[in-house]
């Protein structure tokens, strides 16, 4: 058995414990490399490129060294305009806790996937993404298209959205959609920090 396995299905469900009855915590995409930490019967304890650990059933994976994962694909960095086009392509995709594919997204899975399509790796959860290298905090008046908006509830960062421009955001909430962010909206009241993404694209 190799030290890693490769997702062989379009999307693989990853669980908190080695059981289909366990909580679905995230997903992995076709050809994504998963590093093997342990094995119990038909289940593998795996770690993704961002350090996220979970369990995957053997149905979803192959241990073939001939396959390559996303982290080995040479993807040129795209422009911020292309980032928005990628984000818009998922409009209408349903919300799914732990999801990060066209079958369903949670808020941070949506952000992580869109940036991954531009060759940029972000951590899995919103609370981790806000701490990512090269993100710089800015105020609302300086917000530009593509910047990340983080929202807080009970002192915890629990939501993230991409700034779409003209006071609008694109995010996964119920489904992937574009919404106007105004002061009279409940979501605006929870706005915690806005992080510029310029250095992610410009090095």
- Hey, which residues are catalytic here? 107, 159, 171
d(CA 171, CA 108): 9
Neighbours of 192 (CB within 10 A): 17
C-alpha dihedral over 182, 101, 174, 132, to 10 degrees? -40
Spatial contact of 135 and 148, defined as CB atoms under 8 Å apart:
yes
Can you state the angle between helices 80-88 and 107-116, rounded to 10 degrees? Answer: 130
User: Measured in Å, how far apart are the chain's first and last C-alpha atoms?
Assistant: 37
Token pair 């342990």 is found at 38
Rg (CA), the chain: 17
DSSP-derived secondary structure for 22-51: SPEEEEEETT-EEEEEEEETTEEEEE-TTS
């Amino acid at each position: 058995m190799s030290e890693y396995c490769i997702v062989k299905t379009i999307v693989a469900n990853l669980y908190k414990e080695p059981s289909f009855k366990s909580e679905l915590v995230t997903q992995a995409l076709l050809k994504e490399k998963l590093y093997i930490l342990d094995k119990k019967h038909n289940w593998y304890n795996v770690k993704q490129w961002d350090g996220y650990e979970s369990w995957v059933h053997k149905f979803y994976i192959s241990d073939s060294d001939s396959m390559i994962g996303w982290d080995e694909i040479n993807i040129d960095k795209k422009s911020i305009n292309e980032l928005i086009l990628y984000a818009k392509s998922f409009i209408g995709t349903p919300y799914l806790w732990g999801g990060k594919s066209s079958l369903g997204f949670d808020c941070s899975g949506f952000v992580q996937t869109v940036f991954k399509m531009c060759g940029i790796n972000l951590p899995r959860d919103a609370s981790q993404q806000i701490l990512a290298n090269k993100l710089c905090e800015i105020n609302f008046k300086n917000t530009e298209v593509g910047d990340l908006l983080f929202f807080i509830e009970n002192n915890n960062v629990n939501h993230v959205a991409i700034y779409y421009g003209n006071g609008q955001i694109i995010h996964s909430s119920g489904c992937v959609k574009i919404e106007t962010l105004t002061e009279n909206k409940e979501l605006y009241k929870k706005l915690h920090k806005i992080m510029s993404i310029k250095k992610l694209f410009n090095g």
